[in-house]
Amino acid sequence: MKTDNLIITGARIITPLGFKARKGKEMNELYDDVGTIEITEGKITYVGADRPSLPDGYKVIHAKGKVVLPGFVDSHTHLVFGGFRPDEFIWRLNGDTYMSILQRGGGILSTVKATQETSAKLLRNKAEWFINTMSRMGVTTVEGKSGYGLDRDTELKQLEVMQAINFDPIRKVDIVTTFLGAHAVPTAYKGREEEYIDFLIKEMLPLVKRRMLAENCDVFCEDGVFTVEQSRRLLKAAQEMGFGAKIHADEIVSFGGAELAGELHALSADHLLHASDAGIHALADNNVVATLLPLTAFTLHEPYARGREMIDSGCAVALATDLNPGSCCSGSIPLTFALACIYMHLTVAEAITALTLNGAAAVNRADTIGSIEVGKYGDVVLLDAETPNVLPYYTGMNTVALTVKRGRIVSRRR
């Protein structure tokens, strides 16, 4: 990837510190000081006090009175898909539930059909539009899931689109790819769910691994979709092949997904709107990142996940948008931040940690991104403000003035 040499001086540098997720009270602890950040050939080589003279060969940004944060990590999205579903959004407003729409052939299955019929070129064009929009909101790394194919060729097509974007040397955002073949039960496998899990384990996972198309494997562990035992079988097989494990857990009902994530020492358990007390403790005890998606609760008009209780119980909490064509057609980082603070009662510091270092840990990247520290990639955002408190205060409004990816300015407010 193209990199640059950059120095940011006079900035108020605010960042979590460390190379793994921050848990419980640690999430509220941030480095906060005025100084300089030096990025050399894409990596951070200095963080500290402003210096009287600067080396040659660097672009210099004078950022007095501005806040610099680590680049945001959106650790749960479905950004490659065909079609949109605005009619279903209105159905929900009129009282239809997520599961009732799915049972009528809508929901995920509607997008599966559209994705199967959409060319890789058009899928990439749409995904790049989302990525450009995310970059303007400060996102420098995003997780992208497959799951709108539910067949061999379309699942591969989604993953190949994301990998093609990653190969672009001037890309604005890195995509961490996740195989979500177990997003729903395909129509052809209704009543034969065990056979579909067999297909994923025996054919798809080895193929995805051989082609190096994904780093992680995810499953929608939910009543009416995949059982805890089916999810366990798939994820254990994936882990044995070297994939990281992630789980859509306890979104619709309390189903034991969080407990399973703890048992498997998964990278993350996501959604968790209805996670049990035992599930929350399983996540905390086993260092599983609890990835919360407040935009989805907002758009579905559902209770928010118990973010405050999770942190107080010692969990590492991450925040992500869940951008997708059905339950949450939004990738708004500003609104995610505001909802987390207003309705889930996270502090501003906790929300910053959740959208940076803990998001990085949720995609197994905390060793290289998620904080402003020497040795990590130079992924940072400059806020058009002197305090981070504007993040929830300017509710849903973008305060990012500049996004830097590996020392290169990739988005700038005009």
C-alpha–C-alpha distance, residues 413 and 8, integer Å: 17
CB 271, CB 258: distance < 8 Å: no
C-alpha–C-alpha distance, residues 70 and 50, integer Å: 18
CB 332, CB 299: distance < 8 Å: no
Look up residue 187 and give its amino acid: T
CATH superfamily for 73-362 is Metal-dependent hydrolases (3.20.20.140)
Strand partners, 43: 40, 377
- Using DSSP bridges, classify how beta strands 139-145 and 6-15 pair: parallel, antiparallel or unpaired: unpaired
C-alpha–C-alpha distance, residues 104 and 124, integer Å: 29
- Length of the chain (residues): 414
Q: What is the pLDDT along the chain (414 residues), one digit of tens a residue?
A: 778 899 999 999 999 999 999 999 999 999 999 999 999 999 999 999 999 888 999 999 999 999 999 999 999 999 999 999 888 888 888 888 877 886 776 788 889 999 999 999 999 999 999 999 999 999 999 999 999 999 999 999 999 999 999 999 989 999 999 999 999 999 899 999 999 999 999 999 999 999 999 999 999 999 989 999 999 999 999 999 999 999 999 999 999 999 999 999 999 999 999 999 999 999 999 999 999 999 999 998 899 999 999 999 999 999 999 999 988 999 999 999 999 999 999 999 999 999 999 999 999 999 999 999 999 999 999 999 999 999 999 999 999 999 999 999 999 987
pTM assigned to the model: 0.96
Residue range 6-70+371-412 in CATH 3.40.50.300: no
Do the two domains 6-70+371-412 and 73-362 of this chain adopt the same fold?
no
Q: Residues 203, 248, 116, CA angle at the centre, nearest 5°?
A: 50
| Domains in the chain: boundaries | 6-70+371-412, 73-362
C-alpha–C-alpha distance, residues 251 and 371, integer Å: 29
Residue 274 DSSP symbol: T
- Using DSSP bridges, classify how beta strands 316-319 and 289-292 pair: parallel, antiparallel or unpaired: parallel
Helix (H) or strand (E) holding 165: helix 152-166
Rg from Cα positions in the chain = 20
Burial class (CB in 10 A: 0-12, 13-18, 19+), 44: buried
